[in-house]
């Protein structure tokens, strides 16, 4: 018994001595030596080079309940010929080393994105161990640094606001895409080398500019080539199997010039799945898109009840026609712009590698000659908490 007790004492003492040699954290830098970056903006510098703006978290010194809380961040601007040198110059102004592990968003100015490869601009963030590959990024209309000066609505920083806006816009409206550093690298290194990045711009709202995340910037070989408007992006996402959720408005009348206010049924798209087939046909491709969508009725304004005798079937056909129209308009636009956003080149590489190698050099022109078909299969899952009849019986016939 005494021998066992002595052995346990020795083990405890040994563990205590070894524990005292361990450090308290991963490195020896204290918190006052670091400036936590929440947002990064990249632009063209006025004198040439790269302009860098970082949004740094500012610890609050105010006491709860006493006075108005101070702004929780500061913006610091530097510029140099390389991103890493501009990053090191942050210390000249802040007196602290920039810490990148908590960064929420990266903004790249449209002018810079058109002239230089975005992946090459962000090379430092891919190589350094602190930034996370799950950090999201956007392309901005105008100077990216301007958007970091915007006062946030309810978030502590506008970087957090842009991060949440990008995610929500993609997941709930279908009017934007979502992209992080990892997704950008994977898309840019794919055979077709086409990537989609969410677009940030200012929209006039009540005589005051409001930052809006809608639409997408198309990057080819890392450089920005075109902006997809939000109205076309919904159809693009349906084609590319990237549509999460959103609203489909179905006009009561087939007249395209008719009034639309309160003259549309509306359904919420709960889920979609798109199957694309690629078939070589001589010197071009035949593309076939089949979309399966599950929807829920949101507004029934056209006066047609969802009866088992045909009302539900008529509405379902109208929804299918509307979705097919949206996809066709988007596909026509992509063919006109010669932008393979739907991944046809990647699919051709997987199924017909030899043919892809022959067509790769002139792929944009080859893609523009593609023929296509679109088909939609819609299921109406529910009419909501109400029965499938219009609440206002005075509405006109659909």
DSSP one-letter string for 244-280: --EEEEEESSS-TTS--TT-EEEEEEEEEEEEEEEEE
Judge contact between 342 and 194, C-beta under 8 A: no
Please work out, in degrees rounded to the nearest 5, the angle formed at the alpha carbon of residue 273 by the alpha carbons of 268 and 274: 120
* Tokens 């690298």, located at residue: 185
- Write out pLDDT tens, residues 222-278: 999 999 999 999 999 999 999 999 999 998 876 655 566 667 889 999 999 999 999
At 304-361, the pLDDT tens digits run: 666 655 567 888 999 999 999 999 999 999 999 999 999 999 999 999 999 999 999 9
| DSSP annotation of 318 | H
Q: Residue with structure tokens 């563990």?
A: 15
Four-residue CA torsion sign, 312, 313, 317, 323:
positive
Contacts of 218 (CB under 8 A, 6+ apart): 194, 195, 196, 224, 225, 226, 227, 228, 339, 341
Tokens of 371: 């023929």
Q: Which of 274-278, 298-302, 381-385, 390-394 has the lowest mean pLDDT?
A: 390-394
Q: Per-residue pLDDT for 159 more than 80?
A: yes
- Residue 265 to residue 297: CA distance in whole angstroms: 8
Q: How far apart are CA 211 and CA 169, in angstroms?
A: 13
pLDDT of 256: 59
pLDDT-derived band at 397, boundaries 50, 70, 90: very low
Judge whether residue 180 has pLDDT over 80: yes
pTM across the whole model: 0.85
- Is 60 exceeded by the pLDDT of residue 29? no
Average pLDDT, the chain: 87
How far is the first Cα of the chain from the last one, in angstroms, to the nearest whole number?
91
Residue 336, CA distances (Å) to 46, 216, 289, 322, 331 in order: 35, 17, 18, 21, 9
Q: How far apart are CA 305 and CA 291, in angstroms?
A: 26
Across residues 197-216, what is the average pLDDT?
90
Please give the residue that has the higher pLDDT: either 390 or 203. Answer: 203
Q: What's the confidence (pLDDT) of residue 130?
A: 93
Q: Contact 190/338 with Cβ under 8 angstroms?
A: no
pLDDT band at 121 (very low <50, low <70, confident <90, very high): very high
Instruction: Determine which helix (DSSP H) or strand (DSSP E) holds 393, and give its type and residue range.
Output: none
Give pLDDT, residue 382: 85
CB-facing half-sphere around the CA of 226: CA atoms within 13 A: 16
Q: Is 169 helix (H, G, I), strand (E, B) or coil?
A: helix
With a pLDDT cut of 70, the percent of the chain lying above it is: 83
> Structural domains in the chain?
31-228 (no CATH), 231-398 (3.30.300.210)
CA distance 273 to 41: 35
pLDDT value, residue 398: 42
In the chain, the percentage of residues whose pLDDT exceeds 90 is 66
Q: Give the three-state DSSP class for 139.
A: strand
pLDDT of 164 reads: 95
C-alpha neighbours within 13 Å on the C-beta side of residue 291: 32
Q: Which of the 8 DSSP states describes residue 96?
A: S
């Amino acid at each position: 018994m005494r021998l066992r007790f002595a052995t346990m004492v020795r083990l405890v003492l040994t563990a205590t001595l070894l524990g005292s040699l361990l450090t308290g954290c991963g490195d020896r830098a204290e918190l006052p030596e670091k400036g936590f970056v929440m947002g990064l903006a990249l632009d063209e510098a006025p004198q040439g080079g790269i302009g860098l703006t970082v949004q740094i978290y500012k610890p609050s010194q105010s006491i709860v309940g006493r006075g108005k809380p101070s702004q929780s961040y500061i913006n610091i601007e530097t510029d140099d010929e390389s991103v890493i040198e501009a990053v090191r110059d942050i210390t000249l102004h802040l007196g602290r080393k920039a810490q990148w592990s908590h960064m929420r968003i990266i903004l790249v100015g449209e002018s810079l994105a058109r002239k230089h490869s975005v992946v090459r601009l962000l090379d430092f963030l891919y190589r350094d161990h602190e930034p996370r590959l799950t950090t999201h990024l956007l392309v901005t209309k105008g100077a990216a640094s301007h958007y970091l000066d915007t006062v946030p609505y309810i978030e502590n920083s506008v970087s957090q606001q842009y991060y949440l806006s990008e995610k929500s816009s993609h997941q709930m409206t279908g009017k934007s895409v979502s992209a992080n550093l990892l997704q950008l690298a994977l898309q840019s290194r794919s055979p077709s080398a086409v990537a989609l990045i969410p677009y940030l711009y200012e929209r006039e709202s009540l005589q005051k500019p409001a930052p809006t995340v809608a639409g997408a910037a198309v990057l080819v070989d890392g450089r920005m080539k075109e902006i997809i408007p939000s109205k076309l992006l919904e159809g693009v996402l349906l084609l590319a199997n990237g549509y999460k959720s959103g609203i489909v408005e179905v006009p009561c009348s087939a007249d395209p010039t008719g009034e639309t206010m309160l003259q549309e049924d509306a359904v919420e798209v709960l889920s979609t799945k798109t199957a694309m087939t690629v078939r070589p046909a001589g010197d071009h491709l035949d593309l076939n898109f089949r979309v399966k969508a599950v929807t829920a009725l949101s507004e029934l304004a056209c006066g047609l009840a969802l009866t088992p005798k045909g009302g539900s079937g008529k509405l379902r056909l109208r929804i299918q026609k509307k979705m097919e129209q949206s996809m066709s308009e988007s596909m026509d636009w992509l063919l006109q712009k010669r932008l393979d956003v739907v991944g046809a080149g990647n699919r051709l590489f997987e199924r017909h590698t030899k043919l892809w190698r022959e067509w790769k050099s002139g792929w944009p022109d080859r893609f523009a000659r593609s023929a296509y078909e679109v088909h939609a299969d819609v299921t109406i899952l529910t009419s909501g908490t109400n029965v499938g009849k219009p609440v206002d019986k005075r509405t006109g016939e659909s």
